[in-house]
Amino acid sequence: MKAHINACPVLGPDGTLYISHGAAAKALGVSKRTIGYHLDTWGNLDRLGREAARLNASRRRPITIGNRQWPSVAIFADYIGHRRETVRNWVRKGDMDRIIGALMKADAQQRRAAA
């Protein structure tokens, strides 16, 4: 049982001492689970806030839709807001109607968010 560990002091990535996992999570803008994960995995919070490790970049294959290109299907799927496996299936089947429809919807959402 790890419930008692949440009350232990935590040293933040910038050297700030927090009185608990909850206090560190709140101050750093992450969940207590994230704090616990970093402490259990690496023993510190030095990696907190870094971009997650990606698959080997050499395995990525760019995807081109019209005159636009993304470094990988995964990055494209994140952009259009669909599961990566769903987008991979669309690409594999050549389902351009769904791909273009999802891209148009994502572009419209981006424009609304920017306005």
Look at residue 7 in the predicted model and tell me its pLDDT.
Answer: 72
Distance between CA atoms of 26 and 1, rounded to whole angstroms? 23
How distant, in Å, are the alpha carbons of 16, 53, 82, 84, 90 from that of 105?
43, 28, 11, 17, 16
| Containing structural domain, residue 10 | 3-42
pLDDT one-digit tens code per residue, 36-56:
888 888 888 888 876 555 556
Do 64 and 27 lie in one domain? The reply is no
69 forms beta bridges with: 64
- What's the pTM value of the predicted model, to 2 decimals? 0.50
Domain total of the chain? 2
- Lowest-pLDDT choice from 81-85, 94-98, 111-115: 111-115
Encoded tokens for 21: 């996992």
pLDDT classification of 1: cutoffs 50, 70, 90? very low
Residues 66 and 20 in one domain: no
Q: What are phi and psi of 43, to 5 degrees?
A: 80, 0
Among residues 15, 86, 79, which one has the least CA distance to residue 45? 15
For residues 53 and 16, the model is more confident at: 16
Is 47 a domain residue? no
Same-domain check for residues 31 and 75: no
Higher pLDDT, 61 or 57: 61
In a domain, 50, yes or no: no
What's the mean per-residue pLDDT of the chain? 85
